[in-house]
């Protein structure tokens, strides 16, 4: 069984989403997919389709690129929700010039008060060379701090590398 909050972190194309989906499917609980991606080009469209195929059937699906409140409120205590992913959610809010600190506090509160269990997927983006432009540096800092707070609030945190889990916190079921 999964705890109240599970955090799954990984690099690009690391298999983090598949790992998170598999964690949920193995519980046998009814599952909810909260999609944060906004499809604005064909590259993103292809990625969304590939993930949808990988995920398979039997997911109740909600599109929530920015405001996650209604999505989390709809998750019942028997369900497990997958938020895929915190990085896209953060990107959408940065594009919309939102107050990131306020949005992050809201998200952490929504996760704490959600009746069902939640698995949050996020990207590690801070292990390359310092980016040239200030916006990328700001994104990298905000993402890093968000990841720290999600890991801190979770009971189980996993770093996925080449599809394999390194447990950061807690115990895999």
- Is 51 a catalytic site residue? yes
Question: Encoding tokens for residue 167?
Answer: 């447990």
Task: State which residue, 46 or 102, has the beta carbon closest to its own copies.
Answer: 46
Tell the smallest beta-carbon distance from residue 89 to its own copies (Å): 15
Question: Encoding tokens for residue 61?
Answer: 């699906």
Task: State which residue, 1 or 130, has the beta carbon closest to its own copies.
Answer: 130
Beta bridge partner(s), residue 143: none
Asked if 116 touches its own copies (CB under 8 A), the answer is no
Size of interface with its own copies, in residues (CB under 8 A): 41
For 99, the 3-state DSSP assignment is coil
Asked if 139 touches its own copies (CB under 8 A), the answer is yes
CB-CB neighbours of 18 under 10 Å: 16
Which of 28, 53, 130, 171 is in the footprint of its own copies by CB under 8 A?
130
Order the strands of the 80-84 sheet from edge to edge: 59-63, 31-35, 80-84, 117-123, 5-10, 156-161, 164-169
The HSE-up count of residue 39 (CA atoms within 13 Å, CB side) is: 10
Tell the smallest beta-carbon distance from residue 30 to its own copies (Å): 28
Q: Please state, in angstroms and rounded to a whole number, the distance separating the CA atoms of residues 24 and 157.
A: 14
Task: Give catalytic residues, as residue numbers.
Answer: 51
Residues that bind its own copies (CB under 8 A): 7, 9-15, 43, 124-131, 134, 136-137, 139-145, 147-148, 150-152, 157, 159, 161-164, 166, 168-169
């Amino acid at each position: 069984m999964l705890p109240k909050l599970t955090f799954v972190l990984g690099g690009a194309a690391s298999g983090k989403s598949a790992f998170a989906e598999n964690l949920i499917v193995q519980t046998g609980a009814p599952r909810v997919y909260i999609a944060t991606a906004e499809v604005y080009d064909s590259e993103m469209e292809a990625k969304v389709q590939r993930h949808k195929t990988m995920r398979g059937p039997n997911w109740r699906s909600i599109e929530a690129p920015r405001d996650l409140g209604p999505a989390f409120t709809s998750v019942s205590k028997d369900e497990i929700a997958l938020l895929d992913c915190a990085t896209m959610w953060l990107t959408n809010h940065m594009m919309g010039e939102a107050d990131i600190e306020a949005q992050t506090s809201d998200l952490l509160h929504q996760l704490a008060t959600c009746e069902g269990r939640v698995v949050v997927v996020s990207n590690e983006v801070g292990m390359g060379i310092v980016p040239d432009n200030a916006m990328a540096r700001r994104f990298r800092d905000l993402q890093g701090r968000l990841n720290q707070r999600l890991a801190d609030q979770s009971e189980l945190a996993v770093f996925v590398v080449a599809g394999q889990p390194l447990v950061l916190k807690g115990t895999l079921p």
